[in-house]
């Protein structure tokens, strides 16, 4: 079961840019493995079952797969933070995952942990799932009918949030939540957007972005990003070549200058393929998302 909720109250407490440092031309040496074994709380799956049972959450190890990872660098430094899905013990077959966080400083992993407050151990509750949801007054951004990706029904997925933290811009402190709603096994996806204008306390009614027909099927992997002028950029992948074994997709980018009310043309930025091996070499990180996206200075860039 997947549940789309806003899990933070935004206070605009963001990393500030540090003094300029040396560029990345200096070799960083050997690769560093970030997928350390992480202790936490999760739900085991009984033998022969297809899902975990409520009330069975316990302490254990997240020593299985990672997927759909994301990474960011603090401007002017070699400090990075990342997130990924964490799979509990050997139960990744049932997509039994929580969220993991990683800190990397000057090429060394200085922290790896399960994100607290959304698991049974740190919250002290067996609620399934427990939640530290505070934004939008604890309400889902979109009604959830309890279907799953395995049933090919109505599913909210690939959600992401961006914040306008640029002082003096027209939409400062506005929060943009985006996700894809899938309906059916054919990958019919709709890109959805909800905007908060009070730092995450409440959100507008979700709307659907309507991309050109050439971007279908399976519009997904949605990334909002805010520019220094307050413009909202959106990147997503669509137009999958389903006849290709490695699933070639097309990255599209669009822009809104009026707080997500209207959007400009959808521009194709790249045509990458999914990792044919499924895993990144020598790690437990699975290849789950084709692209990441960030807006730097005045140039939108897609990283594939």
Mean pLDDT on 143-153: 59
Q: How confident is the model at residue 169 (pLDDT cuts 50, 70, 90)?
A: very high
pLDDT in tens, 17-30: 344 444 545 555 56
Angstrom distance (rounded) from CA 20 to CA 278: 37
Mean pLDDT on 141-159: 69
Per-residue buried b or exposed e for 108-143, using 16+ beta carbons within 10 Å of the residue's own CB: ebeebbbbeebbbbebeeeeebbeebebbeeeebbe
- Percent helix, strand and coil across the chain, each rounded to 5? 5, 40, 55
Question: What local confidence, expressed as pLDDT, does residue 135 receive?
Answer: 75
More confident residue, 93 or 121: 121
Mean pLDDT on 267-279: 79
Asked if residues 274 and 251 have their Cβ atoms less than 8 Å apart, the reply is no
Question: What local confidence, expressed as pLDDT, does residue 274 receive?
Answer: 74
pLDDT at residue 214 above 90? no
Angstrom distance (rounded) from CA 277 to CA 29: 25
More confident residue, 284 or 89: 89
Q: How confident is the model at residue 226 (pLDDT cuts 50, 70, 90)?
A: very high
Mean pLDDT on 205-227: 82
Question: What local confidence, expressed as pLDDT, does residue 25 receive?
Answer: 55
Mean pLDDT on 174-191: 82
Place of tokens 């809104």: 256
Between 58-72, 209-223, 284-298, the lowest mean confidence (pLDDT) is in 284-298
pLDDT in tens, 61-93: 888 888 888 888 887 888 889 888 888 887 666
Question: What local confidence, expressed as pLDDT, does residue 215 receive?
Answer: 63
Name the pTM for this structure: 0.75
């Amino acid at each position: 079961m997947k549940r789309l909720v806003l899990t933070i109250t935004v206070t605009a407490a963001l990393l500030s840019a540090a003094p300029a440092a040396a560029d990345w031309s200096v070799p960083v040496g050997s690769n560093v493995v970030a997928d350390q074994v992480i202790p936490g709380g999760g739900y085991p799956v009984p033998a022969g079952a297809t899902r975990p049972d409520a009330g069975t959450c316990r302490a254990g190890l997240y020593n299985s797969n990672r997927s759909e990872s994301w990474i960011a660098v603090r401007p002017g430094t070699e400090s990075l933070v990342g997130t990924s899905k964490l799979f509990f013990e050997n139960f990744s077959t049932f997509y039994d995952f929580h969220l993991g966080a990683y800190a990397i400083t000057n090429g060394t992993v200085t922290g790896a942990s399960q994100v607290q407050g959304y698991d049974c151990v740190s919250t002290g509750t067996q609620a399934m799932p427990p939640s530290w949801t505070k934004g939008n007054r604890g309400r889902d951004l979109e009604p959830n009918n309890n279907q799953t990706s395995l049933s090919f029904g109505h599913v909210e997925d690939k959600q992401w949030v961006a914040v306008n933290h640029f002082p003096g811009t027209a939409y400062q402190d506005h929060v943009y939540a985006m996700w894809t709603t899938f309906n059916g096994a054919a990958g019919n996806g709709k890109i959805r957007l909800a905007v908060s204008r009070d730092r995450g306390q409440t959100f507008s009614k979700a709307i659907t972005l309507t991309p050109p027909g050439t971007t279908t099927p399976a519009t997904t992997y949605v990334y909002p990003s805010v520019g220094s002028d307050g413009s909202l950029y959106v990147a997503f992948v669509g137009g999958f070549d389903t006849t290709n074994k490695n699933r070639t997709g097309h990255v599209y980018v669009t822009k809104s200058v009026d707080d997500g009310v209207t959007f400009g043309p959808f521009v194709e930025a790249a045509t990458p393929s999914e990792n044919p091996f499924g895993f990144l070499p020598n790690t437990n990180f699975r290849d789950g998302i084709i692209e990441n996206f960030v807006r730097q200075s005045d140039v939108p860039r897609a990283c594939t």
